[in-house]
Amino acid sequence: MNYEEAKSLLEKYGQTHLLKYYDQLDENQKASLLKQIGEIDFSLLDLIKNGEKTTEKGVITPLEHAVSIDDIEKNREKFTKTGEDAIKQGKVAALLLAGGMGTRLGSDKPKGMYNIGETKDVYIFEMLINNLLDVVKETGAWVPLYIMTSEKNNDDTIAFLKEKNYFGYNPDYVEFFVQEMAPAATFDGKIYLEGKDRISTSPNGNGGWFISFVKAGLCEKAKAKGVEYINIFAVDNVCQRMADPCFVGAMIDGGYRSASKVVSKANPEEKVGVLCLEDGKPSIVEYYELSEDMRYETRENGELAYKYGVILNYLFNIEDLEKNLENNLTVHIVKKKIAHIDEQGNEVKPETENGYKFETLVLDMIHMMDNCLAYEVVREKEFAPIKNKTGVDSVDTAKELLKLNGVQL
* Amino acid 203: pLDDT: 84
In percent, the amount of the chain with pLDDT more than 70 equals: 98
CB of 232 within 8 A of CB of 361? Answer: no
pLDDT (mean) for 163-184: 96
Query: Are 208 and 163 part of one and the same domain?
Result: yes
Give the dihedral of Cα atoms 323, 328, 332, 336; nearest 10 deg.
Answer: 100
Neighbouring CB atoms inside 10 A of 8's CB total 12
Is residue 245 within 8 Å of 106, Cβ to Cβ? Answer: no
Long-range Cβ contact pairs of 19-23 (< 8 A, separation 24 or more): 20/193, 21/193, 21/196, 21/197, 21/345
**Whether the Cβ atoms of residue 320 and residue 365 lie closer than 8 Å to each other:** no
Cα of 247 vs its chain's centroid, Å: 19
138 and 239: one domain? yes
* pLDDT computed for residue 153 by the predictor: 94
pLDDT, average across residues 188-207: 93
For residue 217, which of 257, 178, 166, 172 has the smallest C-alpha distance? 178
Decide if pLDDT at 202 tops 90.
no
State whether residue 323 is helix, strand or coil.
Answer: helix
In a domain, 153, yes or no: yes
Domain enclosing residue 31, as ranges: 1-39
The answer on 148 and 15 residing in a single domain is no
Tell me, yes or no, whether 136 and 3 share the same domain: no
For residue 136, tell me if it sits in a domain: yes
Average confidence (pLDDT) over 33-60: 83
190: left (phi over 0), alpha (psi -120 to 50) or beta: beta
pLDDT of the residue at 375: 98
Does a structural domain hold residue 188?
yes
CB 366 within 8 A of CB 372: yes
Decide the pairing of beta strands 198-199 and 193-195.
antiparallel
- Asked if pLDDT for residue 160 goes beyond 90, the answer is yes
pLDDT of residue 53: 52
Strand residues in 184-280 grouped as ranges (E): 193-195, 198-199, 201-203, 229-234, 258-264, 274-278
pLDDT in tens, 224-261: 999 999 999 999 999 999 999 999 999 999 999 999 99
Q: Is the dihedral angle over the CA atoms 279, 280, 282, 285 positive or is it negative?
A: positive
pLDDT grade, residue 52 (50/70/90)?
A: low
Q: Are 229 and 256 contacting, i.e. CB atoms less than 8 angstroms apart?
A: no
2 in the same domain as 108: no
Q: Are residues 205 and 218 in the same domain?
A: yes
317 and 398 belong to one structural domain: yes
Looking up residue 96, the CATH number of its domain turns out to be 3.90.550.10
Residues 23 and 44 in one domain: no
pLDDT of residue 169: 98
Do residues 27 and 74 share a domain? no
- 31 and 44 housed in the same domain: no
What's the predicted TM-score (pTM) here?
Answer: 0.91
Residue 68 and residue 91 in one domain: yes
Q: What confidence category does residue 2 fall into, taking pLDDT thresholds of 50, 70 and 90?
A: very high
Query: pLDDT tens-digit profile of 301-347?
Result: 999 999 999 999 999 999 999 988 766 788 889 899 999 999 899 99
Q: pLDDT at residue 51 above 70?
A: no
- Residue 356 and residue 49: Cα distance in Å, rounded? 12
Number of domains in the chain: 2
The HSE-up count of residue 362 (CA atoms within 13 Å, CB side) is 22
Q: Same domain, yes or no, for 21 and 44?
A: no
pLDDT in tens, 93-149: 999 999 989 988 999 999 999 999 999 999 999 999 999 999 999 999 999 999 999
265 DSSP 8-state letter: -
The answer to whether residue 409 is domain-embedded is no
Helices then strands (H, E): number in the chain? 14, 18
